[in-house]
Amino acid sequence: MISKIITFIVLCLVPAYAYSAIYGYVDDRGIYHFTNIKPAGKQYHVVITDKNRTMGLQKNFDNSNYDTLIMRHSSLHGIDPSLVKAVMKAESNFNPYAVSPKGAQGLMQLMPDTAKLMKVENPFDPDENIKGGTKYLKFLEETFHGNLELILAAYNAGPSKVMEHKMNVPPIEETRTFIKRVKQFYNKLKYPNEG
């Protein structure tokens, strides 16, 4: 009965189109944890099943809820708004309450240390999260001299990983997949009338 109530609450809080599946587990203190990203830990179980992965990705592609914030912060930091939106799409699928198993939070999935570095106090506030994520993309753009693949690799795996691999994309499958997805979304946003 309790699991049905929890599932109902999750369904009410998270739009059905936002993610392919929702996972959850109860910790030792009795606190229920949820994530939208398939977790590595075996303590998680599926709360909401994956019904149609492809449909979910395409259906929410044109989300314009955050365009004003994206434009404001992109303009302020000199970052292409299509890139910011593509990163947001790939990272959280526009869910401001997304939390990854590794602890990344909000629309642009800022890790707590990154959020602190970018002076983000509330990573679940869309304005603060987009500001921090855009500012971080600008930092990475300057660090990696505008090389999009390295910027995205550093956004996903961290700048130190890119530097450890002699300024190359690290051989991490998740990072390579992330780069491919962001570039795909970026091209669709930047050139909507092509292909």
Average pLDDT score, the chain: 81
pLDDT of 150: 97
pLDDT of 64: 86
Domain-wise residue ranges, the chain: 2-58, 61-190
Residue 94 near residue 107, CB atoms below 8 Å: yes
pLDDT per position as a tens digit, 99-148: 988 899 999 999 999 999 999 999 999 999 999 999 999 999 999 999 99
State the burial class of residue 163 (Cβ atoms within 10 Å of its Cβ: 0-12, 13-18, 19+): middle
Percent of the chain with pLDDT over 70: 68
Percent of the chain with pLDDT over 90: 61
Q: How confident is the model at residue 195 (pLDDT cuts 50, 70, 90)?
A: low
Query: Is there a catalytic annotation at residue 149?
Result: no
- Reduced 3-state DSSP string for the chain: CHHHHHHHHHHHHCCCCCCCCEEEEECCCCCEEEECCCCCCCCCEEEECCCCHHHHHHHCCCCCCCHHHHHHHHHHHCCCHHHHHHHHHHHHCCCCCCECCCCCECCCCECHHHHHHCCCCCCCCHHHHHHHHHHHHHHHHHHCCCCHHHHHHHHHHCHHHHHHCCCCCCCCHHHHHHHHHHHHHHHHHHCCCCC
Among the four given CATH numbers 1.10.10.10, 1.10.530.10, 3.40.640.10, 1.10.3470.10, the one describing domain 61-190: 1.10.530.10
Whole-number Å distance between alpha carbons of 25 and 181: 28
Q: How confident is the model at residue 191 (pLDDT cuts 50, 70, 90)?
A: confident
Q: How confident is the model at residue 42 (pLDDT cuts 50, 70, 90)?
A: low
Q: How confident is the model at residue 51 (pLDDT cuts 50, 70, 90)?
A: very low
pLDDT of 81: 96
Q: How confident is the model at residue 44 (pLDDT cuts 50, 70, 90)?
A: low
For 47, residues 6+ apart whose C-beta sits below 8 A from its C-beta are 6, 7, 10, 21, 22, 23, 24, 34
More confident residue, 48 or 153: 153
Q: How confident is the model at residue 29 (pLDDT cuts 50, 70, 90)?
A: confident
More confident residue, 93 or 19: 93
